[in-house]
Homo-oligomer: A and B are copies of this chain.
Amino acid sequence: MKTYLDCIPCFFKQALEAARIAGAGKKTQKRILNELAGALPKFPLSSSPPEMGKVIYGLAKRITKKDDPYLRIKEKSNKLALNIYDKLKKKVSHSRDRLLMAVELAIAGNIIDYGVKNSLNVDAELARILNEENKAIKKESKAIFDYESFKHVLNNTETILYLADNAGETVFDRILIEEIRRIDRNKKIIYAVKEKPVINDALIKDALDCSIDKIAQVISSGSDAPGTVLSLCSKEFLRVYKRVDMVISKGQGNFEALSGTKRPVFFLFMAKCPVIAQDVGCEVGEVILLYRSLEELEKLK
């Protein structure tokens, strides 16, 4: 996805949020906004928002000299999600369609994102996910939900690359990966996180803290953009990306980075802003399972 002009005010909002999370004083906050302003004219709109995200969080890190301002938030998110792991597992095992429930929970886990919503209360949101009422609302609004294709491709797949999004969400990913492995123990699953800290995106440490390494091979994308921008990823990662049978991409950032690229991908995310909702053709807050199949990629050309 290219960057829309409406993303620009949001870039400044994100920079301010990052500066504050890093504990910057007002002068430093203003300096970060000024530097972002200086970078803006050179930034091409043909780039995807995560490319600008890398610039934003990079300059916030450099100026505040805090390498990982979201560390505590990530640790808290992991802990909170691990605390409800048993409840989530029960939800899956009590479902008529266990895989569907695991997919839905994996997408719902995507709301743990401090990068887009500022004052999101993780506790309340997690409680809301488990709330039956909300569950019903989610089911009604399934405008884009390519679950049949997901099942079909999954059944004909040996290797899966699973692109992680945020810390905490990793626990929800674990639930889905465990469900996939329950169906077929022989599938090889590779779980890719970010190389270095950016917003609350999951790193190798988060994957290990959530025990993903017990059920999948954990690798890094080689990049610290808040989305899998292929031109910034390592050769090792790209080799995997090209070779696997199926790619499951979590979160808005990965969608923004990959929706314009060539290979078929299943995008699982919640549409968190009006710009992406318009790009996808859905409502803000909608739960999306979007398959960019080979046929569709041909049509988009």
Q: Which residues of A contact B (CB under 8 A)?
A: 5-6, 8-10, 12-13, 16, 26, 29-30, 33-34, 36-38, 40-41, 45
A45 partner, pick from B30, B36, B41, beta carbons under 8 A: B30
Please give, as numbers and ranges, the residues of chain B lying within 8 Å of A5 by CB-CB distance.
16, 26, 29-30, 33
Residues in chain B near residue A41, CB distance under 8 A: 34, 37-38
Query: How many copies of this chain does the complex contain?
Result: 2
Give the residue name and chain of the B residue nearest to A35 (CB). Answer: B41
- Docked Cα-Cα span, A8 to B37, in Å, equals 10
- Known interface pairs A9-B16, A34-B41; 14 further A-B residue pairs with C-beta atoms within 8 A, sorted by A's residue number: A5-B16, A5-B29, A5-B30, A8-B16, A8-B33, A9-B9, A9-B12, A9-B13, A12-B12, A33-B40, A34-B40, A36-B37, A37-B41, A38-B41
CA distance A41 to B39 in the complex (A): 12
- Min C-beta distance of A258 to chain B, whole Å: 24
Tell me whether B6 and A9 are in contact (CB under 8 A).
Answer: no
Most chain B Cβ neighbours within 10 Å, of A5, A16, A36, A38: A5
Q: How far is the CA of A13 from the CA of B274 in the complex (A)?
A: 14
Min Cβ gap A10→B in Å is 7
Contacting residues, chain B, for A13 (C-beta < 8 A) = 9
Which of A8, A10, A26 has the largest count of B CB atoms less than 10 A from its CB?
A: A8
- Taken together as a complex, chains A and B put the C-alpha atoms of A26 and B6 apart, in Å, by 11
What are the residues of chain B within 8 A of A33 when measuring CB–CB? 5, 8, 40
CB distance from A41 to the nearest CB of B (A): 4
